[in-house]
């Protein structure tokens, strides 16, 4: 067996060790390379920045713990921005398995910003029905969520003053890890109830949402950990996402190097086979 053949059949555990080290070392010894801000992320940031104080924004945390590394930092950054701008935040989730995490996240950022539950923010929790919940909220928010996650009646809470349905929400952001997520919020929410919509998603989902972005169906898109890191840079509060970018950088470069090596060995084998074939 030639060297190239042996390298192409390398033990997968060696690749696992390379990826493990590329993830671990930058987390232990961060470099902090500068992050360029994209127009997609700036779209969400600029819109929140332009809202007047006490405007109502809806944050739908449509993800579960599996997507926590990418979407949690996005949610933290948006919440910090919204609370800094003194906006009223109505949060919810369309993913039942993400309910506890969403409540913990909201409570943590609200405490850190000195915001009061019921006055500055409310967590509606989860309700069965998937996309039907969006339509129901568009018709009557109190019908869809008669009480919040803590069991307190939603009607009469100061944070929801003047809000009867999605039509009264100025801006909605869905941070989605799948379906229902950003697309569902456009199809069943924005299209009918005419509010401005921004999106956030995992890195692998981002390319699929570009058509919505280019056509203006969503006004911004925060894609994966990179998007979260850009948002953290924009609000000037660098957190988990910026810290994780070095690890992601190293891992991407390692995968590119591995793919490059694999192709070098593949072509060298192909050339050898051709040479042997042309010999008499």
Partner 1 sequence: MIFLRRQLPLLITMITGLIFAGQYYVPHPASEQLLTSATKWLQIIGGFALVLGVTSLFQVHAAKIRRKEAGWGYSMVLYAGMLGTMAVGWWANGKESVEGVSTAFGWVYNFMMVPLQGTMFAILAFFIASAAYRSFRARSREAAVLLIAAVIVMMGRVPLGEYLVPVSGDISQWILNVLNASVRRAILIGVSLGAVALSFKIIFGVERSYLGGGKE
Binding region for partner 1 (CB under 8 A)? 8, 10, 12, 15-16, 18-20, 23, 33-36, 38, 64-69, 97, 100-101, 103-104, 127-130, 132-133, 135-136, 139-140, 143-144, 192, 203, 206-208, 210-211, 213-215, 224, 226, 245-246, 248-256, 258-263, 266-267
List all residues 6 or more positions away from 111 whose beta carbon is below 8 Å from its beta carbon. Answer: none
Shorter beta-carbon distance to partner 1: residue 15 or 161: 15
Shorter beta-carbon distance to partner 1: residue 86 or 268: 268
CA distance 221 to 182: 10
Shorter beta-carbon distance to partner 1: residue 128 or 280: 128
- The CB-side HSE value for 25 (13 A sphere, CA atoms) comes to 10
CA angle 70, 71, 72 (to 5 degrees): 100
Distance in Å, CB of 176 to partner 1, minimum: 15
Peptide bond into 81 cis (omega under 30): no
Shorter beta-carbon distance to partner 1: residue 82 or 134: 134
CA distance 191 to 53: 26
Shorter beta-carbon distance to partner 1: residue 49 or 256: 256
Shorter beta-carbon distance to partner 1: residue 51 or 262: 262
Distance in Å, CB of 85 to partner 1, minimum: 27
Nearest Cα neighbor of 181 from 205, 217, 148, 203 is: 205
SS3 80: helix
Distance in Å, CB of 117 to partner 1, minimum: 12
List all residues 6 or more positions away from 65 whose beta carbon is below 8 Å from its beta carbon. Answer: 97, 98, 101
Distance in Å, CB of 5 to partner 1, minimum: 13
Please, are residues 244 and 229 in contact by the beta-carbon 8 Å criterion? Answer: yes
Distance in Å, CB of 22 to partner 1, minimum: 9
Sheet containing 121-123: give its strands across: 121-123, 88-92, 56-62, 171-176, 196-201, 221-223
Distance in Å, CB of 42 to partner 1, minimum: 13
């Amino acid at each position: 067996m030639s060297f190239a053949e042996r390298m192409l059949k390398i033990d997968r555990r060696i690749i696992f060790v390379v990826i493990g080290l590329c993830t671990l070392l930058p987390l232990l010894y961060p470099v902090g390379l500068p992050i360029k801000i994209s127009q997609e992320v700036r779209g969400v940031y600029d819109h929140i920045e332009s809202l007047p104080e006490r405007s109502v924004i809806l944050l739908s945390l449509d993800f579960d713990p599996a997507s926590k590394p990418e979407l949690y930092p996005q949610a933290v950054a948006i919440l910090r921005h919204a609370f800094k701008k003194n906006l009223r935040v109505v949060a919810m989730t369309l993913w039942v398995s993400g309910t506890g995490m969403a409540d913990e996240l909201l409570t943590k950022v609200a405490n850190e910003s000195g915001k009061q539950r019921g006055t500055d923010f409310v967590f509606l929790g989860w309700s069965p029905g998937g996309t039907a919940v969006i339509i129901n909220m568009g018709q009557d928010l109190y019908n869809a969520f008669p009480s919040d996650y803590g069991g307190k009646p939603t009607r009469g809470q100061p944070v929801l003053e003047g809000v009867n349905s999605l039509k009264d929400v100025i801006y909605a952001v869905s941070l989605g890890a799948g379906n229902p997520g950003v697309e569902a919020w456009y199809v069943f929410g924005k299209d009918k109830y005419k509010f401005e919509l921004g999106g956030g998603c995992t890195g692998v989902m981002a390319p699929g949402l570009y058509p919505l972005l280019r056509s203006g169906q969503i006004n911004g898109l925060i894609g994966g950990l990179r998007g979260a890191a850009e948002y953290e840079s924009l609000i000037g509060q660098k957190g988990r996402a910026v810290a994780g970018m070095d690890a992601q950088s190293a891992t991407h470069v390692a995968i590119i190097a591995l793919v490059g090596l694999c192709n070098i060995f593949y072509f060298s084998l192909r050339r050898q086979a051709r040479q042997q074939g042309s010999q008499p």
